[in-house]
Amino acid sequence: MTPEQNDTNAEPSLETELLGMKMRTPLIMASGTFGYAFEIARVADLDFSHIGAVILKSVTLEPRQGNPPPRVAETPAGMLNSVGLQNPGVDYVIRHYLGMLENFDTNFIASVAGHTVHEYVECSVKMASHESIRAVELNMSCPNVRDGRRFASDPAGAAALIRAVKERCPKPIIAKLAPGTEDVGEIAGACIDAGADALSAGNTYVGMVIDTRRRRPLLGGNTGGLSGPAIRPLAVHNVCLVHQVASQKNIPVIGCGGVMTGNDAAEMMLAGACAVQVGTAVFTNVHIAADISAGLRKYLVAQKENEVSAIVGTLQQNETS
């Protein structure tokens, strides 16, 4: 037996490190699909050992009642949501929810949204001050509220926001970029220069479903954010574009969009993501991180890789004329 064959017999490691967090897998449960963790943890036998981190549902400085229902519409291989950032406000979340996180054996990242720079800063500082929170993701790309994407569509605005949060926030910050913008590279560069510690690429895509009988949009909020496997090719390309910029400055990219299987996660990582968010897939199976981990290990075995981090950004583009 050659040493090389010997290596492939060992179970490949999915362990990785991101922003100082030790993660047992590169899988991060995406904001908005995993609640504040305790809701999903009610399901019997939920095993956090396949989950590298959880990004909590976005919080805002004040409570938000969210958009009128219906808030979900199914689409081909995906779904639109129009929740509109319903949440009980940062103070309530800290007082009633964050204390429960110590019962769950994984890393937790806060997600913060707001109308103004001030709101983002205050909210980030409050969440980051809690001992269970390891980092803060700035939701600069919510498609379901007025101004939701303002900060992610203007490099100067994005930079100003990040600089302001970075100045006060005691924990690493992740900028969640809007996908599908021509200049995503430019925005990514502006976020990095302003001090973002990592980038999430990206978020849901804006879409609409029309109820033809009533001649009205099906969603109460008219438009919604498209997620699920329908957007995966778009998301993989988006990760490539962001990675081109971030790799030059050694800033980690977190891939996000339509990941359902281990092979999907591998695609994201080859494109340059060092961790991968899993969102809509949770609705099909609460235990899906276990299946994705198993699939990712299988992929690494087939590729004769011992560590998942070895594949990050190793995509070889084809020659084109």
Partner 1 sequence: MSERKRTGPFDIIATVVAQEPAGSAAYRLTLDCPEIARCAKPPQFFTISCHALSQIHAGADADSVPLDPILRRPLGFYRVRPDKGEFDTIYQVVGRGTGMLTLLKPGDRVRVLGPLGKNINPKDIRSRTALLVGGGAGLPPLCYLSEALQDAGKEIIVIAGARYRELLIAPTVSRRLKRPVGGRKDVQSLEPLAQRDIDCAIALERHEEGFFEGLITAPLEEYLELDYEGGVEIVACGPPPMVRVIAKLAEKKSVKCTVVMESRMGCAIGACQTCVIKTTSGYRRVCVEGPVFDAKDIVWE
Q: Which residues are catalytic?
A: 142
CB-nearer residue toward partner 1: 199 or 266: 266
Is there a contact between 152 and 140 (Cβ–Cβ < 8 Å)? yes
**Could you tell me the smallest distance in angstroms from the CB atom of residue 154 to partner 1?**
28
CB-nearer residue toward partner 1: 73 or 191: 73
Rounded Cα–Cα distance for residues 201 and 199 (Å): 6
Residues in Cβ contact with 317 at an 8 Å cutoff, skipping those fewer than 6 apart: none
CB-nearer residue toward partner 1: 157 or 295: 295
Closest CA to 180 of 201, 197, 159, 156: 201
Which spans in 97-203 are helix H? 117-128, 155-168, 184-193
**Could you tell me the smallest distance in angstroms from the CB atom of residue 296 to partner 1?**
8
Whether the ω angle into residue 68 lies within 30 degrees of 0, i.e. cis, is: no
CB-nearer residue toward partner 1: 32 or 114: 32
What residues make contact with partner 1 under the rule CB under 8 A? 32-35, 39-40, 42-45, 57, 65-66, 68-74, 76-79, 81, 83, 86, 228-229, 260-263, 280-288, 291-296, 298
Is there a contact between 16 and 274 (Cβ–Cβ < 8 Å)? yes
